[in-house]
Structure 1
Amino acid sequence: MEQTKEEFFHDFRQELLSSAEANGSFFLSEFMEKVANELIETGFSEGFEVCHFRAQRGMRVDGYWFDDEGNLALFIADFDNRVELTSLSRTEVAVLFKRLISFLEASTNKGLAQSLEVTSPEYGLARQIADRIDSIYKVNLFLFSERSLSEKIQELPNALVAGIPVTHHIWDISRIHRQQSSKNHKEALDLDFVQMFGKGIASLPAHLTTHSYQSYLMVMPADVLAVLYDKYGARLLEQNVRTFLQARGTVNKGIRETILKEPYMFFAYNNGITATAQSIEKSVTDSGLVITKIVDLQIVNGGQTTASLFHTKKRDKADLSQIFVQMKLSVIDSQQSDVVVPKISEYANTQNKVNAADFFSNHPFHVRMEGFSRRLWAPAKSGSQRETRWFYERTRGQYADQQSKLSLAEQRRFKAEHPKPQMFTKTDLAKYENIWDDHPKWVNLGSQKNFKQYAERIGREWEKSSDSFNEFYYKRAVARAIIFRNTERIVSNQNWYNGGYRANIVAYTLAMLGEITKRKKESIDYLKIWNEQEIDAALENAISTIAEAVNGIIIKPPHGISNISEWCKREACWKQLTDSAELITNKILPKFFSQLVSTDNILERRKADLTA
């Protein structure tokens, strides 16, 4: 039975309180990150940085993100830890957006930044807006609310601030509920071509009536694709294509040359686009069949073509009126989409340099991790008799889907065996692993770029030795998750922590922990953490010591760098930290080092698991 809006609000709030307690974070920060993750997973935003700032002059901001395409996202919260679901009025919406716009306006010159503490997140944001003002193409304002809109309004009219187009997006509890309750756990992208462009798109049917799906060949005007990409961005792209689109923010040189020099040859030279939809509406005109509406459009191949058309028009002022693109559209029933759409995307992308199979949810690596998570019981924590499992969410929404057909008693049992705090996703796994094994810089670049890097690495390693991804690998990954989540709690509870840059501090603290142990040719005893399902006092003390040192280093970037979050994304930041590794090592208590195990011991355990 589907949850009511009130039931969803209650569960959402309880999960929020539980995760805030576990992570040692403020309720507001936890709320913002929880909703932001929903938007990142579904393509509404590429990333999110916490930045809570309120001023007497009516300014407010709670988070931001700059992407590679000249877009700035600013976030504001309507959150007061309310115990009952209440209504949010249009007037209150207008007031909240006005505060966000006031911050944006005050930041467009260096006046606001000059009045702020230089190590604060709000200084970095205000200064970066001022420095980038000429290259910001669009500003998306997001309002996150724990209330439900009293009127059917999800967006407000566009505006201009300092000559920059500004759009408004409202994510109230009702919209979050709809997204999580939908079949694909995302908000469908529905297009009405007649309403948007005055006419439908020419097409030819390319299917037999006996088939369980429909296919159409469409001739898409390049201007239409550019407008759609401008309006919807990454939401147009199927998740794997969105994550793996090569060179975000850049233009394919061959495509650009054709657009500018031989636009009339574009249709002949370009391979076209492959897309899927849940349903369509069509009509017959004097010139033939046209598609007038598409429900849940997803481009599964041709993302770079689409992005390049948009960027060439934007940057080179290119005329796209004579350019048309072939699009193969497959209409897939929503009941089959979870299985069929990834296969279409996989087969359509096999010509790419990165093997598409390396990153799809049904790749054997993800299937194997899922198998371990469903089979292996995690030992009971000290003081508890109940063993639990860590739930690996191989595809979006699995955790909720597995409970949807259970009775209330069965749901309670499922949650007891698979506690929500022990659910982790592919992007979570990529974060836990890359911090230790690859490079912490990737984690600071955002979850999608980090996952891309992780998947490419795992794809190569899987080809060399798939057997190495065994039970030990899985248990080590869970142990790293335990360390990561405890580090978030530890950092939040430190007297020196001022509420900013926690994600950066956590990533570099654990990377430094790995670097320090690696230099001693030793390692954390991951199996000990797996067996105890917690970290001990010696490791907790080492983490707090390293975190304080890391914080002291990253908040003092070199001269000329004003934004600390941006500094943390640079190679030079990691080098500055590793140059201080010996000084940090000397501050750690000896008991921590006495509990480490040799690297050889770890390798032997992993090999033993290979032959078990």
Structure 2
Amino acid sequence: MEITTAEFLHDFHQELLAGAEANGRFQLSEFMETVANELIETGVTEGFELCHFRAKRGMRVDGYWFDDEGILDLFVADYESRDDLASLTKTDVDTTFKRVENFFEASISKGLAADLELTSPEYGLARQITDRKGAIRRLRLTLFSERSLSERIKELPDSVVADIPVTYQIWDISRLHRQRSSRSHKEPLDLDFEQMFGSGISCLPAHLGDKAYQSYLTVMPAEVLASLYERFGARLLEQNVRTFLQARGTVNKGIRATILNEPGMFFSYNNGITATAQSVETNMTDSGLAITRVIDLQIVNGGQTTASLFHTRRRDKADLSQIFVQMKLSVIDSQNSEAVVPKISEYANTQNRVNAADFFSNHPFHIRMEGFSRRIWAPAKNGAQRETKWFYERARGQYADAQSKLTPSEQRRFKAENPKPQMFTKTDLAKFENVWDDHPRYVNLGAQKNFAQYAHRIGREWEKSSDSFNEHYFKRSVARGLIFRATERLVSTQPWYKGGYRANIVAYTLAVLSEITKRKKGHLDFLRIWNEQGIDAVMDSVLSIVSCVVNEEITRPPDGISNISEWCKKEACWDRIQGRTVEIEKRLPSEFYSQLVSSDEQAAEVRTARQTQRIDNGIEAQRQVLAVPAEKWSRLHGRLIEKALLTPKEIGILKIAMQIPEKIPTEKQCTVLLGILEKGRTEGIVAD
């Protein structure tokens, strides 16, 4: 049964209270981070930096993000932890946005930074606005509100502040409720081409009456595609494509050269784009059939083409009026989208050598991690009577979906077994892992860029040895999460902490710790932290010492760099922090070093876990093979023989499978048989 917005508000407040306690944050900060993460996950914004600032001169800001395309996002909160659902009026909206505009104008034109504390986040933001004055091409103001927007407010017209175009958007509690309640867990784009561009897009239907899967071939004007990207940015791109672009940049030199030098040949040279939609409206015109409206347009291949058209128009003032792009549009209803869209995305992108790691929610790595999280019980904490689980959300909304059809008593039991503070997402996992294993700078680049880097790395490692991702890896990841979140809470309580840059401090603190253990040729005992479900007093002391030094380093950037968040993204910042590693080593208590696990012990643990995973993989392979009857193996054998697609080894193993249950294939043979099954599916032969 779907809950009302008032009920959602109550549940949301409880979620914020639990999150604020677990993360060591004030409720206002937890509110901003929670809503911002929703928007980052769905591509509304690329990232978020917390920055609370209020002044008597009618100024306010609560967060910001500079993207790579000249857009500055400024976020402001309307949050007082109200008990009841209230209405957000136009007067409230206008007043709140005016305060953000005042902050921006004071920063860009009136030297506000000179009046602010040098190490404060608001100084860094105000100074960066001044320094980037020539590069900011658009200001996007976003209001996060726990109230419900008045129905009298139909639209928020664009404006100009300090000669910069400004757009406005509001994420009130009702909109957040709609997003979380939607099947896709994101707000679908509703594109009315006639309203936006004056006419529909000519098309040819490419389906034969199957209402579940309609397809259209269209020729998209490049101006329309670039304008859509300018307005909606990453929201237009299916999540896997966003990851791909984050990892590899956005402008293709070949595409740019064609736009500038041979625009008339663009259609011939370019492969076009592949897109999906939940629904499409068409209209018959004098020129033929035209698409007039699309709900939830998502580009699953061609993101680089789309972004390059936009960038070349903006940076090079290119004329796109003579350029057209072929588009294949598949209409997939929301019930089938999770299964079908990733396949369209993967198959469409094979020409660009996008590996499977870029299609990440359905990558076997995530499926395996999800399986561990649903099966493995975490030890009860000291004083607790029951064990719990760490819920891994490989796809958006899984935690909510798992409860949606439960009775109230079943929901209480679910939450007791899977506490919300123990839910973690793909981007959380990427943070927990990258600070230890890859590079802390990636974490400071924002959740999406860090996840892209992690996806790329895990894809390579999975291809090399999937057995490395086992129960030990899962428990170690959770232990790293426990340390990460404990460090967040600890930093917030330190006497030297002034309320800014916590994410940067945490990332570099743990990276320093990782560096020190490597220098000592040892390893943290992650399994002990998993077993205790927390850190001890020794680790608490270590984190206090390291984080204090890190704070000193990041809050005094070198001359010429005014913004501390930007300083934290640079290689030089990590180099300078590493330069104090020897000094930090000497200040850590001897008990910390005595708790380290030797490299030999660590290697033995990893080796055993890998062997166990290999056995588990074999057992699972046998289970899947034995679920297919002998006669179906015989049919598959005959069809693949006809197509000459089997090797002598595969033929021999298939002959064993054709005698199930009289003969049982070995685990290694079952792995081969699963490969044959996949080969059959590729050829359109279904054996099961």
Following the alignment from structure 1 to structure 2, what is the Cα–Cα distance between the partners of residues 576 and 435? Answer: 16
> Which residues in structure 2 correspond to 1:449-488 (within 5 Å)?
449-488=449-488
Q: CA deviation at 1:308?
A: 0.9
Following the alignment from structure 1 to structure 2, what is the Cα–Cα distance between the partners of residues 345 and 195? Answer: 29
Q: In the alignment, which residue of structure 2 is the partner of 1:259?
A: 259
Q: CA deviation at 1:460?
A: 0.6
CA contact (8 A) 2:342 2:359 kept: no
Q: In the alignment, which residue of structure 2 is the partner of 1:574?
A: 574
Q: CA deviation at 1:599?
A: 2.4
Q: CA deviation at 1:167?
A: 0.5
Following the alignment from structure 1 to structure 2, what is the Cα–Cα distance between the partners of residues 511 and 609? Answer: 25
CA contact (8 A) 1:236 1:299 kept: yes
Following the alignment from structure 1 to structure 2, what is the Cα–Cα distance between the partners of residues 461 and 379? Answer: 29
CA contact (8 A) 2:158 2:166 kept: yes
In structure 1, give the amino acid aligned to 2:563: N
Residues 193 and 448 (structure 1 numbering): CA distance in 2 closer, same or farther, change over 3 Å? same
In structure 2, give the amino acid aligned to 1:479: A
Q: In the alignment, which residue of structure 2 is the partner of 1:33?
A: 33
> Which residues in structure 2 correspond to 1:550-589 (within 5 Å)?
550-589=550-589
Say whether 1:168 aligns with 2:133.
no
Following the alignment from structure 1 to structure 2, what is the Cα–Cα distance between the partners of residues 611 and 340? Answer: 34
> Which residues in structure 2 correspond to 1:361-510 (within 5 Å)?
361-510=361-510
Q: In the alignment, which residue of structure 1 is the partner of 2:671?
A: none
CA contact (8 A) 1:346 1:360 kept: no
Matched residues, percent identical? 71
Q: In the alignment, which residue of structure 1 is the partner of 2:140?
A: 140
Following the alignment from structure 2 to structure 1, what is the Cα–Cα distance between the partners of residues 355 and 575? Answer: 32
Q: In the alignment, which residue of structure 2 is the partner of 1:244?
A: 244
Residues 100 and 224 (structure 1 numbering): CA distance in 2 closer, same or farther, change over 3 Å? same
SS in 1 for 2:403: helix
Q: CA deviation at 1:354?
A: 3.7
Q: CA deviation at 1:377?
A: 0.5
Residues 371 and 411 (structure 1 numbering): CA distance in 2 closer, same or farther, change over 3 Å? same
Following the alignment from structure 1 to structure 2, what is the Cα–Cα distance between the partners of residues 241 and 154? Answer: 32
Q: In the alignment, which residue of structure 2 is the partner of 1:196?
A: 196
CA contact (8 A) 1:433 1:477 kept: yes
More moved, 239-248 vs 519-528? 239-248
Following the alignment from structure 2 to structure 1, what is the Cα–Cα distance between the partners of residues 105 and 28? Answer: 24
Q: CA deviation at 1:244?
A: 1.4
Following the alignment from structure 2 to structure 1, what is the Cα–Cα distance between the partners of residues 212 and 47? Answer: 37
Following the alignment from structure 1 to structure 2, what is the Cα–Cα distance between the partners of residues 70 and 304? Answer: 18
Q: In the alignment, which residue of structure 1 is the partner of 2:235?
A: 235
Say whether 1:4 aligns with 2:4.
yes
Q: CA deviation at 1:270?
A: 0.6
Q: In the alignment, which residue of structure 2 is the partner of 1:514?
A: 514
Q: CA deviation at 1:102?
A: 0.1
Q: Which has the higher contact order (CA 8 A, sep 6+)?
A: 1
Following the alignment from structure 2 to structure 1, what is the Cα–Cα distance between the partners of residues 292 and 91? Answer: 35
Q: In the alignment, which residue of structure 2 is the partner of 1:528?
A: 528
In structure 2, give the amino acid aligned to 1:243: T
> Which residues in structure 2 correspond to 1:31-70 (within 5 Å)?
31-70=31-70
Q: In the alignment, which residue of structure 1 is the partner of 2:285?
A: 285
TM-score, L = length of structure 2: 0.88
Could you list the per-position Cα deviations for residues 361-382 of structure 1 after superposition, in whole angstroms to 9, with x for gaps in the alignment?
1111001101100110001001
Could you list the per-position Cα deviations for residues 407-466 of structure 1 after superposition, in whole angstroms to 9, with x for gaps in the alignment?
111111111111111111111101100000000000000010001100111111111111
In structure 1, give the amino acid aligned to 2:23: N
Following the alignment from structure 1 to structure 2, what is the Cα–Cα distance between the partners of residues 155 and 243? Answer: 31
Q: CA deviation at 1:358?
A: 4.5
Residues 63 and 210 (structure 1 numbering): CA distance in 2 closer, same or farther, change over 3 Å? closer
In structure 2, give the amino acid aligned to 1:162: A
In structure 2, give the amino acid aligned to 1:128: Q
SS in 2 for 1:331: strand
SS in 2 for 1:82: coil
Q: In the alignment, which residue of structure 1 is the partner of 2:666?
A: none
Following the alignment from structure 2 to structure 1, what is the Cα–Cα distance between the partners of residues 103 and 15? Answer: 31
SS in 2 for 1:370: helix
In structure 1, give the amino acid aligned to 2:579: D
Q: In the alignment, which residue of structure 2 is the partner of 1:117?
A: 117
SS in 2 for 1:351: helix
Q: In the alignment, which residue of structure 1 is the partner of 2:602?
A: 602
Structure 2 residues not aligned, in runs of 5+:
613-688
Q: In the alignment, which residue of structure 2 is the partner of 1:17?
A: 17
Q: CA deviation at 1:152?
A: 4.8
CA contact (8 A) 1:154 1:171 kept: no
Following the alignment from structure 2 to structure 1, what is the Cα–Cα distance between the partners of residues 246 and 424? Answer: 26
Q: CA deviation at 1:212?
A: 3.2
Q: CA deviation at 1:227?
A: 1.0
TM-score, L = length of structure 1: 0.98
CA contact (8 A) 1:110 1:126 kept: no
RMSD: 1.2
Following the alignment from structure 1 to structure 2, what is the Cα–Cα distance between the partners of residues 476 and 354? Answer: 29
More moved, 152-161 vs 62-71? 152-161
CA contact (8 A) 1:155 1:169 kept: no
In structure 1, give the amino acid aligned to 2:546: I
- Structure 1 runs of 4+ aligned residues shifted over 3 Å read 152-155, 246-250, 356-359
SS in 2 for 1:308: helix
SS in 1 for 2:109: coil
Residues 247 and 100 (structure 1 numbering): CA distance in 2 closer, same or farther, change over 3 Å? same
Q: In the alignment, which residue of structure 2 is the partner of 1:94?
A: 94
Could you list the per-position Cα deviations for residues 337-395 of structure 1 after superposition, in whole angstroms to 9, with x for gaps in the alignment?
11111111111112234414444211110011011001100010010110011011111
Q: CA deviation at 1:602?
A: 1.5
In structure 2, give the amino acid aligned to 1:588: L
SS in 2 for 1:231: helix
Residues 152 and 46 (structure 1 numbering): CA distance in 2 closer, same or farther, change over 3 Å? farther
Following the alignment from structure 1 to structure 2, what is the Cα–Cα distance between the partners of residues 250 and 237? Answer: 12
SS in 1 for 2:392: strand
Q: In the alignment, which residue of structure 1 is the partner of 2:638?
A: none
In structure 2, give the amino acid aligned to 1:589: P
SS in 2 for 1:404: coil
In structure 2, give the amino acid aligned to 1:416: A
In structure 2, give the amino acid aligned to 1:364: P
Q: CA deviation at 1:110?
A: 6.1
More moved, 62-71 vs 354-363? 354-363
Residues 102 and 269 (structure 1 numbering): CA distance in 2 closer, same or farther, change over 3 Å? same
Q: In the alignment, which residue of structure 1 is the partner of 2:299?
A: 299
CA contact (8 A) 2:241 2:303 kept: yes
In structure 2, give the amino acid aligned to 1:315: R
CA contact (8 A) 1:71 1:138 kept: yes
Residues 357 and 526 (structure 1 numbering): CA distance in 2 closer, same or farther, change over 3 Å? closer
In structure 2, give the amino acid aligned to 1:452: A
Following the alignment from structure 1 to structure 2, what is the Cα–Cα distance between the partners of residues 152 and 374? Answer: 45
Could you list the per-position Cα deviations for residues 286-310 of structure 1 after superposition, in whole angstroms to 9, with x for gaps in the alignment?
2111110101100001011111111
Structure 1 residues not aligned, in runs of 5+:
none
Residues 154 and 76 (structure 1 numbering): CA distance in 2 closer, same or farther, change over 3 Å? farther
SS in 1 for 2:350: coil
Following the alignment from structure 2 to structure 1, what is the Cα–Cα distance between the partners of residues 250 and 239? Answer: 19
CA contact (8 A) 2:516 2:585 kept: yes
CA contact (8 A) 2:270 2:325 kept: yes
Could you list the per-position Cα deviations for residues 110-132 of structure 1 after superposition, in whole angstroms to 9, with x for gaps in the alignment?
61111111111111111111111
Following the alignment from structure 1 to structure 2, what is the Cα–Cα distance between the partners of residues 140 and 203? Answer: 34
CA contact (8 A) 2:356 2:459 kept: no
CA contact (8 A) 1:236 1:298 kept: yes
